[in-house]
Amino acid sequence: MKRLLWFLLGIILGFGLALFIGWELLPIQRANSSPALLRRDYREEYIRLIAAAYQVDGDLPLAQKRLVALQSDTFTTPLIDVTERWIQQGKPDTILIPLVQLAHDLGVSTPAMQPYLQRGQP
Amino acid sequence: MKSWGVLITGLVLGLAAGLVYTWVISPPQYYDTYPPLLDKTYRTEWIQMTALAYGAEGNWNRTQLRLQGLAEAEIRPIVATVLEQAVVAGRPLVTLQRLAELAAFYGVDTPAVHIYTGEVTVVPPLPPASSPTPPVIVPPTATVSSPTATPSPRPTLTAPSPLSTPQPLTALRIVSQTFTCEAQPHITVSLMLSHTITVRRREQVEMLPLPGREVWLLWEDGADRAVTGFKPEVGLERADFAVEPGHVYKLYIDTPQGVPLSTIQVEPCTTDAGEGWVSRLLMLLEQE
């Protein structure tokens, strides 16, 4: 009986030590995350890339699929958030026009976007 | 076994079980990650979009930041594919040049990279206006200028190039070739559209020039590209190449891929003015 208690104590201590090693000290880094888990600046960059790629390939369903990967309530929300924030921050037209154009093509347009939409017209 | 022996045994077993659990069964879920930790599918998309964005924006530093931490071996084939697709899709030249530059940076070695990075010399599309020797028309026997003229022989089998993709079916055909003997040989392509219109219930065929189309000449170790209508005074349908004897040129329209429209060799010729080289004017017709 005493030996069983020592054995169980060893198991518990060993398992606890393993949790500390496996989750804190030496956590395994698997490349399996989704764009939704990207750090905020990378997530914004991801949205910017979607708009830039759409500007080149014109593939709206693909752009939509990529936005969906951000796992927001509505797939256009991250796009609108980033675009409006960057408009407020006064980012250059070269960045804003593709974003506004993509939003427009996805059926979203806010008053702040309107001037950029007109500037983006050929 | 003593008590401490039992404790150590339990410790080792618990440690092993715990490591299996934390590393295999339930690894930590990361938040605030960065591109190299994305799932392979998303990583591929990230690289594709970065390449396309570089093609559109041309921001080298930003592109390098975006690709930071990603393996070159992973980037290389994706960038090569993006370039290939851009060529097939007929993206603007500046986009193709940027994509080729990016691909070359990551060690991609394909004909498209050579062409668009400028490693292959692209000579001006038209010869100088003042030619030292005026062109001499070869006697009529050497001139082929009828709609029934057969195009130059095409190879029945062509080894696919690394960029080889099925060439889109096109109604383009060579309707005539005119040969002249000149000191500086050149190949001129005249690209027209055959357009049928109905006037008072009667069909009429109109011939319209096709400016802005890419014409390619590829040879063993190089390539040249011209755009029809580059010099409107010569003709909106014309594209002209200065060529050199000793090469076998393959003619393509729009994209330098697949089976060439014609294979052309620059041959010597003789006229009253002396020896020269055969220049060609190829009339190409695209039917609507």
Residues A11-32: tens digit of each pLDDT = 999 999 999 998 888 887 777 7
Q: What is the distance in angstroms between the Cα of A94 and the nearest Cα belonging to chain B? A: 8
Nearest to B129 by CA among B233, B11, B282: B233
Of the listed ranges A111-120, B70-79, B170-179, the least confidently predicted one is: B170-179
**Locus of tokens 């708009």:** A51
Residue-wise pLDDT tens digits, B13-45: 999 999 999 988 888 777 788 899 899 999 999
Contact B223, B250 (CB under 8 A): no
Q: With 50 as the cut, is the pLDDT of residue B148 above it?
A: no
Q: Is the pTM of this model over 0.90?
A: no
List % helix, strand, coil for chain B (3-state, nearest 5).
30, 30, 40
CB contact under 8 A, B18 and A45: no
From chain B, the residues in CB contact with A120 under 8 A are none
Contact A78, A47 (CB under 8 A): yes
Q: What is the phi/psi pair of residue A97, to 5°?
A: -60, -45
Contact B90, B254 (CB under 8 A): yes
Note the ipTM here. 0.83
C-alpha span between B131 and B129 (Å, rounded)? 6
22-61 of A, contacting B, C-beta below 8 A: 22-23, 27-35, 37-40, 42, 45-46, 48-50, 52-53, 55-57
C-alpha span between B188 and B179 (Å, rounded)? 10
The DSSP code for B150 is P
